[in-house]
Amino acid sequence: MASIRKTKKDIRYACGDIAAELLIASHLIEGFDRAETHKIINDIAALQVDSLAKCSFDFDKSPSDFENGKAYRAAKHAYTAAAFRKLKEEMATRMQEIVDKMNAATKA
């Protein structure tokens, strides 16, 4: 399980890389729909902002809700792992939609 700090860095890098690829493609590929570039860049920026906001989450239980510290830590770990998994799946889905838009902007 990754730390929140590392996850936020990875999100920034991934969004930055895909935006750079889009800009390079829009300038180097003939027939690329440049009008779509700005819309796709806005989608990438929205994905980054939304994903960064969803990185910070709190476990809604306190240690006193459990019989011992081990049970609390296990529940907190399971909650955090599920939250990271959900964030990863959501980001992958939205990233695939962006890549599909990029491919559609490229005229064969």
Query: What is the maximal distance between C-alpha atoms in the chain?
Result: 65
- Say which amino acid occupies 82: A
User: Cα separation of 31 and 68, whole Å?
Assistant: 64
pLDDT attached to residue 56: 85
Quote helix, strand, coil % in the chain, to nearest 5: 80, 0, 20
pLDDT attached to residue 108: 58
pLDDT attached to residue 33: 84
Average pLDDT across each block of 10 residues of the chain; the chain has 108 residues. List them in order. Answer: 83 96 90 88 96 88 88 91 92 95 84
Give the domain range for residue 95. 4-105
Structural domains in the chain (count)? 1
pTM of the predicted model as reported, rounded to 2 decimal places: 0.83
pLDDT attached to residue 93: 96
